[in-house]
Amino acid sequence: MLRKMIYKPGASPKDGSLCVAETNSESVPFEVKRVYYSYGVQEGVIRGHHAHKTLQQILICAYGKIEITLDDGKGRINSYVLDDPSVGLYVGPSTWRTMKWLISDSVLLVLASDHYEATDYIRDYDMFIESIDPKES
């Protein structure tokens, strides 16, 4: 689900803009415990290839253009192009994700609901599919 960050235009066009992401708000529906970013990635590179058991994230393309593909394991696959730093994409638990750099040196900023925990990752797609409860929709 796309989330709009709180947008604060500068006093004049030369001042630029400011976007704010506040914890436990409409733009970020969880407490942020970790922030990280990926950069220096060349066009065409696909990263991700994993899901999380409990982690929630907001993905923001702070610079450039990145395509995010989300798979719920039940046949629903959606792709989103992030190219506006005032827009974040919410990615909840049990969602397989890939991130494809459409422009070299794009920057992907991630707000995460928890600290890094290796055991929260599902890195094998077949195991991801097996972990999905078909009764949940």
Catalytic residue status for 50 = yes
**Residue 120 — φ and ψ, nearest 5°?**
-80, -15
Are 85 and 48 spatial neighbours (Cβ–Cβ below 8 Å)?
no
**Residue 51 — φ and ψ, nearest 5°?**
-130, 170
Please list the ranges in the chain whose pLDDT falls under 70: 1-13, 136-137
Q: What is the pLDDT of residue 102?
A: 98
This model's pTM is above 0.75: yes
Q: What is the pLDDT of residue 72?
A: 94
Residue type, 116: Y
Per annotation, catalytic residue among 49, 50, 52, 115? 50
Alpha-carbon span 107 to 18, nearest angstrom: 17
Q: What is the pLDDT of residue 22?
A: 85
> Residues 75-115: pLDDT tens digits?
999 999 999 988 899 999 999 999 999 999 999 999 999 99
Query: Could you give all domains of the chain from N- to C-terminal order, each with its CATH number?
Result: 2-131 (2.60.120.10)
Q: What is the pLDDT of residue 133?
A: 79
| Distances in whole angstroms, Cα of residue 47 to Cα of each of 8, 13, 17, 32 | 31, 35, 29, 22
Alpha-carbon span 101 to 113, nearest angstrom: 24
